[in-house]
Amino acid sequence: MGNRILSILHGRRLQGTLDLNLPADIKRTVRPRLIEHGLQWLRANHPIDEDAAILARIEREEKEEEERLLRYVQELGPQSGHWNAQLGEGGDIYGRSTFQETRKVNEARLLAEEKKKRKEWLEGEMKDREKIEKQMKENTELQKYNPSAVVEARPRADPQERPFLAWAQKHYIRAENTDSDFSTLTTARRILPALGVTLLVLGLCYYYAETYQPPVYYKRMWKDLPPAAATIMGLMAANVGVWLLWKLPPAWRMLNRYFISVPLYPYAMSVVGSVFSHQQFKHLLTNTVILWLIGLRLHDEIGRGNFLSLYLSSGVIGSLISLTSHVLLQRLTVTSLGASGAIAGLVAAWCMLHSDDKLVPSFLPHDWRDSISANGSTVLAAIVAFEVFNLVSPFKVVGKLDNYAHLGGYFAGFVWAILYKSKREKERQRRRNERGFLDRFGSV
């Protein structure tokens, strides 16, 4: 359409017929402002004496009106023959196309760039291997890892043959932190930033727990849903959302930085993000089921403010303990993520709040409950003993568990429950003293 408009405008400039109306299809679809811009472009790039063309037109119309009308009728189709215009490529009656020529130049340039990028992409595999081998020589931490696994060849997919796989591989390589010098990081630089973030989060959690006020009924988002269920479902949704992000290659770079703990080159904020991060569905399902079973009961007992503060603080402490342990043990290539530390804190808090109560699994028959039940402190001690055994034993009862994060979560939940029970006992004692005072002096 743009080509056609320019051809018509230029032909009319030559013939002095710019005052005539444009074809109906152009008037319907093209704004006058764009037509005016096209005319200005022609005048700037192909200048002619339009006034002289108008005078010549007037003379032709006066002297050869009948002949002109006859030729116009006979030659209505191929106007290029009438106006003696230069034919375009392939005998195009609309003349030489500047747009087509520019398009060919741009297509050739883009094709050359695509071929260059494709060549660099396919040859980049060897460069990446050389980069990793160089890092292995310079960083003693990486030498303790399996060298064959680090430099294992990853054949790159051809973007023309397997575009989706090549696209995913590009995001995978982009997400890897292969340009940093790990040898310059000391133990303190790996741990202290995460410790600072942990202390900040603990302070914010304490402030939130102390100042939280539950909303009135008519201001709640889900009025018909119990507050405990709403809180648990919100946490579950956050965990599911991050799990879905792990399925999207463009998100891998962000997730590798802030949603997984990597002792070799840790980001301080990962101690928070990893609490909500799961890569495998089985891991996510296990944690959300335990969160639902324990969280509903604990939430009703301690309230939303305390519950959310306990969840996040336990998770962050578990992440910090895990990071610190792996750094001190020089296990720098072990990664960690998941809400297990936060859930461990909930379990420990529940057990300690009911340390003297008999805890019985609800699915057991009533006849078995008396013989199998145990108080909360005993249950917690058994869970911690299992974690320690699984940590130190050469034969792992359950593999791929971050026992350090679990133990950190249990410790956080244990300490929180002790402080919460002490605070609750002081509050009860204060109320008893107030009632005693009123009983003695109320009549006065």
Q: Which residues carry out catalysis?
A: 340, 406
- Neighbouring C-beta atoms of residue 122, cutoff 10 Å: 15
Helix (H) or strand (E) holding 359: strand 358-359
- Dihedral angle computed from the Cα positions of residues 221, 223, 225 and 231, in that order, rounded to the nearest 10 degrees: 40
Within 10 Å of residue 343's Cβ, how many Cβ atoms?
A: 28
Separation between Cα atoms, residue 432 and residue 428, nearest integer Å:
6
Report how far residue 444's alpha carbon sits from residue 426's, in angstroms, rounded to the nearest whole number: 27
Cβ-contact 371, 435 below 8 angstroms: no
Q: Where are the alpha helices (DSSP H) in 212-362?
A: 227-245, 252-258, 270-273, 281-302, 304-328, 340-353
CB neighbour list of residue 364: distance below 8 Å, 6 or more residues apart: 372
Asked if residues 197 and 271 have their Cβ atoms less than 8 Å apart, the reply is yes
Residue with tokens 């005539």, as numbered in its chain? 20
Q: How is residue 300 written in tokens?
A: 């009703």
Element (H, E) at 375: strand 374-375
User: How many CB atoms are closer than 10 A to CB 243?
Assistant: 19
